[in-house]
Amino acid sequence: MFTSYTNGHYHGVAKKNYFKRALGALSAGALPQKCVACGQESFGGVFCLTCKVLAGETDHFSVERNETLSRMTLRCELEFAAALGIFTKGGPYQSLLHKLKYRGVFTLGFKEGRRFGIKYMQMSTIPKADIIIPIPSHWRRKLKRGYNQAEIFAKGIERETKIPIRTDVLRTRLGIVSQTTKKREERMNRTYDRFLCVNPKGVAKKRVLLVDDVLTTGATAEAAITALNMKAIKKIQLGLLALAMN
C-alpha cells in the first residue's frame, strides 16, 4: 500500500496493489487540472491550449509512413508505429514524462494511454492487435518507482481498446544495466539479448502492440522486438507516448 496518496501522486513505498489504488483514484476524478508543462488551467486535459500546440501533436495515426515507423525501419520490421507527441528538450512532453517517471504522477500515463487508444481504434487501415505488451522497465527502476510507466500507459490503451495486456511475456535479463544514464552511442551499441521472452505460447501467432513511454535511439524497442520475433509472432506494432527528436 502507499504511505500516502494526494491528487494522483504517491509518496513512500508502493506495493503490488498500486494499480488498484491508481485506477481507484482515476475513478474518483483525481486527474491533473493544471497543465503539466506551465501550470495554467488545462480544462481537464494534460496540457493547456498553448502547450498542446507546442507539444507537437503527431500525424502518425493518419500517415502510415510516419517518422516513428521510418526511424525503426532500418532496425526491424513493424506493421504499424505511432507516437502521440514529440519529445524535445525543455518541451511540454519532457515535463509530462518527468512527472510520470520521477514524480509519481502515474495518472498522466493512464490518461495519455486512453487518448492513444481512442486514436488507435479510429484507424480503419491497420488490423488491431490481439494483445498489448508494455516494454519492461529495469528491475531497479521499477523497485524504486513502484511501477513501470509503460505499463501505466498500456493500462490506458487497454481501457479504450479492450485489448488485453500481457505482462508475463517479456522480462529484462539479469545483469543488464539500465539504459537511462547511458549516452546515445552506448544505447545504439546495445546487445540484442537485453530482453527475454519467457512465455512463447502467450504470443505465438498473435498480433502484438508493443508499447513504451518514449523512443530515443530505438535500441530498447529493437531489443524487445528481437526477443518477440524469435517466437513466431504474427505481426508487431509499436505504440509510444512520445518520439524524441535529436
**Number of folded domains that form the chain:** 1
Which residue shows C-alpha cell 509530462?
96
* pLDDT for position 192: 63
Q: Name, in order, each residue with C-beta under 8 angstroms of 198's C-beta and a sequence gap of 6 or more.
A: 168, 169, 170, 171
Q: What's the pLDDT at 10? A: 43
CA pair distance 207, 16, nearest whole angstrom: 28
Residue 151 inside a domain? The answer is: yes
Cell match 488507435: residue? 120
Residue type (1 letter), 142: K
Query: Quick check: is 208 in a domain?
Result: yes
Phi, psi of 219 (to 5 degrees): -65, -45
Q: What is the CATH number of the domain that holds 219?
A: 3.40.50.2020
The pLDDT of residue 87: 94
Q: Do the bridges between strand 195-197 and strand 170-172 make them parallel or antiparallel, or are there none, so unpaired?
A: antiparallel
* In-domain check, residue 80: yes
**Each residue's pLDDT expressed in tens, for the chain with a length of 246 residues:** 333 434 444 444 444 555 555 554 444 445 557 899 999 988 888 999 999 888 888 999 998 889 999 999 888 889 999 999 999 999 999 999 999 988 888 889 999 999 999 999 999 999 999 999 999 987 677 777 778 999 999 999 999 999 999 999 999 886 555 545 555 555 445 556 789 999 999 899 999 999 999 999 899 999 999 999 877 788 999 999 999 986
Strands (E), 63-152: 80-87, 131-134
Amino acid identity of 35?
C
Report DSSP letters for 44-97, one per residue: TSSS-HHHHHHH----TTT-SS-HHHHHHHTT---SEEEEEEEE-TTSHHHHHH
For 131, the domain range is 55-244
Tell me, what's the pLDDT at 173? 83
Task: Identify whether 160 is part of a domain.
Answer: yes
